[in-house]
Amino acid sequence: GTMVLSILSGCSSAFEDNTASDSPGESIATEAPLGANGGPVKEGAMPGTNVLHISEKNEYPTVDCQKNTEFYMVPLNIYDRLVECEVVDGTAVIVPSLAKSWDISDDGLIYTFHLRDDVNFHNGNKFTADDVVYTIERMMNPDTAALNTDFFSMIKGANARLNGEADHVEGAVTLDDYTVEITLEVPFAPFLANLATPSCSIYNREATEAAGDQFGIEPSLTIGTGPFQLSDWVLNDKVTLVRNDDYFKGAASLDAIEIYQVPDENTQKLMYENGELDIVDLSSSSSQLGYFLNNDNYKDNLVTGPEAGCYFYAFNQNMEPTNDVRVRKAISMAIDRQTILDQMYSGAGHVVNSMLPDGVLGSYDAQEIPYDPEGAKALLEEAGYGNGCELEIYQQTDNPDALAINQVVQSMLSEVGIHVTIKQMDDAAYFAERREGKIGMTRASWKADFNDPDNFLYTFFSERNAKVRSNNHTNTEVFQWLEDARAMVDEEERMALYQKIDTTVVQEDATVLPLFQMDHIVVVQDWVKAFHVAWNGWTDVSYYTVSLEK
């Protein structure tokens, strides 16, 4: 991922408000749009009646998903992955994609992928095993400066390549044109689920190397295998995707997708009502939730599903006063999470008490964290703060959604004697200090990049991540359990250990305060057919199956 994040770059929250700055109206495309085989798009390829119109609030920094940790909509539509995660009979499962089948060795170390031989890239190049190896090599090449190296870091020799200690990734090899063998350093149970993430999209060696630093930015040089291809990109205005007629799963129904940049949520609503937008994701237009939920005219136009993610507050255990577990628990007890959900998000979700939200593998019925202001005061007294204490809540400057919720929490904490200052920082300063473990209490959200508890728990609470996520968790037992769980083959035993880890970090150590899991609510026009929210609840979805009946 999901979701800019208040705690880490990674899967973004649908309810975050992020900004980017570029010169209005500057066109990125410098050549005519490309057709499915690398030639110009045919005249008349985008009739208005079969073009899907959607909106995004923020400009994309790039659609190279090795260098992008938040904006996955375009990558999900222009690239493919070896495997995909799809909902089958109500359960998210791994299904074949560019890999038609795979074998796993008994020790869980060697994955042999048998690839399709009928796939072409948008430029007409045949997809082969070499492209898979190239994709892994590019991600782990230190010169790439990729942001998503964790998704391939478990492959044998990947970290050596990333650290400049090797000139290739030892564990990624081609056996023939359509067979790839990937060897892991140690068994990693979530590996297949991990490969279904947008970050593991497969790139064409020839086209990507030729594009250089313009890959993911210049439409004519950004090549994938997906059902749509990047045609045109005008900064702060519109991104256009056109259908790939040669798509190996069959051509999409839509001729094109036009993605308008519309930062203002009320403008999104007006454009929808005027028929200018076919779909508005209310997860990224939260101020309009109440309007659509309470309007009987739209009750049949709402498509819903759970978001496989949660909001939470993270505490820095190296900073006063949250270095005291009693203070962390007092803060948790002083925040009325249900009231925040009801007042700010029209109750479109439910309070959670775990970092493993419903719908994610390993989720369970966690013990309730009570709303108990009097109990919070008693804990503060016990911790030596009977006369109150000062607390800073950190956030990025251009994030009104974060500011709104932080102000509510500021008021709630004042009732128990905790005097909150909201510290706003520009993006560069915020992320620089976070990497150094110096960000204090902060509101965050996390959506599942892949369907496994490792995606939530290892990401925040492992020894390698605790500092860079600025929680500075120090529980060495948790560190070891997280490493042990990654190598377990027995699924039932592994899930039991993850639940133990979650109970420890949330209930006992109070490293974080889970807030709520949102419902994913999308309003669609009457003529939009076969639209489904993704299993993970991202606002970013593939529109391959969508059709329009006007």
454-461: average pLDDT: 94
235-245: average pLDDT: 96
449-471: average pLDDT: 92
Give yes or no for residue 101 having a pLDDT over 60: yes
Which residue did the predictor score with more confidence, 471 or 7?
A: 471
Give yes or no for residue 35 having a pLDDT over 60: no
- Looking at residue 44, what is its pLDDT? 35
Mean pLDDT of the chain: 89
Give yes or no for residue 21 having a pLDDT over 70: no
357-384: average pLDDT: 95
CB neighbours of 25 closer than 8 A, spacing ≥ 6? 234, 235, 236, 237
91-101: average pLDDT: 92
18-27: average pLDDT: 34
Phi/psi at 147 (nearest 5 deg)? Answer: -100, -10
Paired tokens of 259: 């993605």
Facing residues of 309 across strands? 447
Give yes or no for residue 41 having a pLDDT over 60: no
Nearest to 259 by CA among 418, 471, 109, 75: 75
- 334 touches 412 (CB < 8 A): yes
How far apart (Å, rounded) are the C-alpha atoms in residues 360 and 448? 8
Give yes or no for residue 290 having a pLDDT over 80: yes
87-92: average pLDDT: 75
Paired tokens of 316: 């820095």
Paired tokens of 455: 């995606």
Paired tokens of 463: 């020894």
Give yes or no for residue 234 having a pLDDT over 90: yes
- Looking at residue 535, what is its pLDDT? 76
- Could you say which DSSP state residue 544 is in? T
- Give the tens place of pLDDT for each residue, 144-164: 999 999 999 999 999 999 999
Paired tokens of 327: 């203070």
- Looking at residue 449, what is its pLDDT? 81
Give yes or no for residue 445 having a pLDDT over 60: yes
- Looking at residue 369, what is its pLDDT? 97
How far apart (Å, rounded) are the C-alpha atoms in residues 5 and 414? 26
DSSP code per residue over 59-96: --S-S-TTS-SS--HHHHHH---SEEEEEETTEEEEEE
Total residue length of the chain: 550
Give yes or no for residue 311 having a pLDDT over 90: yes
CB atoms inside a 10 Å sphere around CB 297? 8
- Helix (H/G/I), strand (E/B), else coil: 151: helix
- Looking at residue 48, what is its pLDDT? 60
- Looking at residue 400, what is its pLDDT? 87
- Give the tens place of pLDDT for each residue, 188-221: 989 999 999 999 999 999 999 999 999 999 999 9
337-344: average pLDDT: 94
- 442 touches 7 (CB < 8 A): yes
- Helix (H/G/I), strand (E/B), else coil: 331: helix
pTM recorded for the entire structure:
0.79
Can you state the angle between helices 454-461 and 476-487, rounded to 10 degrees? 140
How far apart (Å, rounded) are the C-alpha atoms in residues 6 and 19? 13
Distance of CA 317 to the CA centre of its chain: 26
380-384: average pLDDT: 97
Burial (Cβ within 10 Å: 0-12, 13-18, ≥19) of residue 421: exposed
How far apart (Å, rounded) are the C-alpha atoms in residues 407 and 430? 19
Give yes or no for residue 384 having a pLDDT over 90: yes
